[in-house]
């Protein structure tokens, strides 16, 4: 039997996703209803590691008042970062260079000093890898999966994804009228890292004519052929959705760069695709990059409810003495899976899944030469 819980901490890490505040609200209320204290660590673990940078000391009490009316808000009230990995914490040297330092022992000590008995950490694969590391180092940890990209294994979906798809679909809907009016090709670049979930779901829901995803290295000749066939049928416009991680056949992913302590930044493929389609078809092409707009706004009711369910389930897991697990959606239930089973690989779009089959039946082009 683990020691009784009196005080827990919540942290949010990596890119924000709509639904984070719903998790914070549910976890706070479920914990307080059990008589536990709840604190939030600012910006991942940075609030604990560099408290001097925060007027409030980097940790805030999360009371019922703090979490009132937040479930419908995008972002995270405790802040997040994708530069705060405690196992490779970026530290600037006197000569201006940066080195990455493992601050795990110090972080564990700070949890102890703050009287924190357990951590609920909400994040994507990077944050859940850190969560697993902290669990193996002796901290009591429950992980909550979050990402707009939907690329995490062992949970049927993550919160944030539904909101991102909803917004991307609305944007595609809006682009139809301007594309039609001008008879243009419009290329819409969406986030998703190395998985094509957002592009596929928004592209199919939004009736795109071509969708380029990382799971299928693309050629643009078949896409250009689709555009020209449409032209011959009198449809002088086309919409192409491209995932930021999509790669040309034999080529590499388009990168915006990488800064210290951060993952590679993907982006720029939309512009390249538009330029090449313009060259191949002779039609005017434009690019719209949805980027971080996909991470903002009010979570859909699906994401809000999932966030609330995950937050409450994380507290139930601690009460049941579970440790080193992630809450996961296994419809219709939420269950618990070992943290170390999640981070081993990314969840990609299976090419034989029903949404892919639907897209093929609708003759949506994927930049490959599948014929109908
Ligand atoms: O993982 C979520 C995500 O929004 C990805 O889709 C995207 O590649 C990345 O984060 C962007 O991160 P940043 O906030 O560092 O620009």
Query: Whole-prediction pTM value?
Result: 0.96
- The ligand 1 atom at the shortest distance from the C-alpha of residue 149 is 6
Ligand 1 centroid, distance to 191 Cα (angstroms): 7
Q: Which protein residues touch ligand 1 with a CB less than 6 Å away?
A: 15, 82, 124, 147-149, 191-193, 244, 265-266, 295
330 flagged as catalytic: no
Measured CA to CA, the distance from residue 198 to residue 18 in angstroms comes to 14
Which residues lie below 8 Å from residue 114, measured CB to CB, with a gap of 6+?
7, 9, 39, 48, 59
Say what the pLDDT of residue 260 is: 67
Q: Which of 105-109, 112-116, 179-183, 258-262 has the weakest average pLDDT? A: 258-262
What is the band of 369 on the pLDDT scale with cuts at 50, 70, 90?
confident
Ligand 1 centroid, distance to 147 Cα (angstroms): 9
Say what the pLDDT of residue 89 is: 86
Say what the pLDDT of residue 284 is: 98
Out of 43, 151, 160, 193, give the residue to mutate to test ligand 1, the one with the largest number of ligand atoms within 8 Å of its CB: 193
Which residues share a beta bridge with 91?
Answer: 99
Residue nearest to atom 12 of ligand 1 (CA): 15
Fold of 7-159+299-341: Rossmann fold (3.40.50)
Ligand 1 centroid, distance to 141 Cα (angstroms): 24
What is the band of 277 on the pLDDT scale with cuts at 50, 70, 90?
very high
Contact 192, 245 (CB under 8 A): yes
Measured CA to CA, the distance from residue 355 to residue 215 in angstroms comes to 14
Measured CA to CA, the distance from residue 285 to residue 266 in angstroms comes to 21
Quick count: other Cβ atoms within 10 Å of Cβ 295? 20
pLDDT at 134 over 60: yes
Say what the pLDDT of residue 257 is: 83
Ligand 1 centroid, distance to 165 Cα (angstroms): 15
Contact 360, 204 (CB under 8 A): no
- The ligand 1 atom at the shortest distance from the C-alpha of residue 245 is 8
Q: Helices in the chain by DSSP H: which ranges? A: 20-32, 46-49, 104-113, 125-136, 161-182, 197-205, 220-232, 269-281, 301-319, 354-361
Say what the pLDDT of residue 261 is: 67
Say what the pLDDT of residue 345 is: 83
Residue intervals of the chain classified under CATH 3.40.50.460 are 162-296+350-361
Q: What is the mean pLDDT of the chain?
A: 95
- Which of 154, 156, 150, 238 lies closest to 201 in space, CA to CA? 150
What is the band of 264 on the pLDDT scale with cuts at 50, 70, 90?
confident
Contact 40, 71 (CB under 8 A): no
If residue 335 lies in a helix (H) or strand (E), which one and from where to where? strand 333-338
- CATH architecture of residue range(s) 162-296+350-361: 3-Layer(aba) Sandwich (3.40)
Which residues share a beta bridge with 302?
Answer: none
Ligand 1 centroid, distance to 15 Cα (angstroms): 6
Mean pLDDT of 194-212: 98
Cα 160 to its chain centre, rounded Å, is 7
Query: To the nearest whole percent, how much of the chain has pLDDT over 70?
Result: 98
pLDDT at 372 over 60: no
- The ligand 1 atom at the shortest distance from the C-alpha of residue 151 is 1
Residue nearest to atom 13 of ligand 1 (CA): 15
Say what the pLDDT of residue 114 is: 96
Say what the pLDDT of residue 250 is: 96
Which residues share a beta bridge with 99?
Answer: 91
Out of 149, 257, 262, give the residue to mutate to test ligand 1, the one with the largest number of ligand atoms within 8 Å of its CB: 149
Say what the pLDDT of residue 344 is: 73
Say what the pLDDT of residue 125 is: 92
Mean pLDDT of 259-282: 91
What is the band of 371 on the pLDDT scale with cuts at 50, 70, 90?
low
pLDDT at 263 over 80: no
**Which residue in 117, 125, 149, 303 is the catalytic one?**
149
pLDDT at 168 over 80: yes
Residue intervals of the chain classified under CATH 3.40.50.450 are 7-159+299-341
- The ligand 1 atom at the shortest distance from the C-alpha of residue 267 is 8
Residue nearest to atom 2 of ligand 1 (CA): 15
Mean pLDDT of 177-191: 98
Say what the pLDDT of residue 205 is: 98
Ligand 1 centroid, distance to 192 Cα (angstroms): 8
Say what the pLDDT of residue 157 is: 97
- The ligand 1 atom at the shortest distance from the C-alpha of residue 263 is 15
Residue nearest to atom 10 of ligand 1 (CA): 15
Say what the pLDDT of residue 84 is: 79
For the chain, report the end-to-end CA distance as a whole number of angstroms: 61
Ligand 1 centroid, distance to 194 Cα (angstroms): 11
pLDDT at 166 over 90: yes
């Amino acid at each position: 039997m683990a020691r009784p819980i009196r005080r827990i901490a919540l942290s949010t890490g990596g890119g924000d996703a709509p639904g984070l505040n719903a998790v914070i609200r549910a976890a706070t209320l479920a914990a307080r209803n059990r008589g536990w204290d709840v604190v939030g660590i600012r910006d991942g673990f940075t609030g604990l590691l560099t408290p001097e940078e925060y007027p409030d000391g980097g940790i805030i009490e999360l009371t019922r008042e703090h979490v009132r009316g937040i479930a419908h808000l995008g972002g995270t009230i405790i802040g997040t970062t994708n530069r705060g990995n405690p196992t490779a914490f970026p530290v600037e040297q006197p000569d201006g260079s940066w080195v990455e330092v493992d601050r795990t022992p110090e972080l564990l000590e700070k949890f102890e000093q703050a009287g924190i008995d357990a951590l609920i950490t909400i994040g994507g694969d990077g944050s859940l890898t850190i969560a697993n590391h902290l669990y193996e180092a002796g901290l009591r940890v429950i992980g909550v999966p979050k990402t707009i990209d939907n690329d995490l294994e062992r949970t049927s979906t993550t919160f944030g994804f539904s909101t991102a798809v909803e917004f991307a679909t609305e944007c595609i809907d809006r682009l139809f009228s301007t594309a039609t009016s001008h008879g243009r090709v419009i290329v819409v670049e969406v986030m998703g890292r190395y998985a094509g979930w957002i592009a596929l779901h928004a592209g199919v829901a939004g009736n795109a004519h071509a969708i380029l995803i990382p799971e299928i290295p693309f050629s643009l000749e078949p896409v250009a052929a689709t555009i020209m066939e449409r032209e011959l049928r009198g449809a002088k416009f086309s919409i192409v959705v491209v995932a930021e991680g999509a790669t040309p056949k034999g080529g590499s992913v388009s990168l915006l760069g990488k800064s210290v302590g951060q993952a590679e930044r993907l982006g720029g493929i939309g512009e390249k695709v538009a330029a090449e389609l313009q060259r191949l078809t002779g039609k005017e092409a434009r690019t719209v990059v949805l980027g971080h707009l996909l991470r903002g706004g009010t979570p859909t009711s699906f994401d809000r409810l999932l966030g609330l369910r995950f937050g409450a389930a994380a507290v139930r897991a601690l009460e049941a003495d579970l440790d080193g697990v992630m809450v996961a959606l296994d419809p219709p239930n939420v269950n618990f899976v070992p943290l170390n089973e999640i981070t081993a690989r990314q969840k990609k779009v299976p090419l034989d899944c029903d949404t892919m089959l639907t897209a093929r039946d609708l003759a949506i082009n994927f930049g490959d030469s599948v014929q109908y």
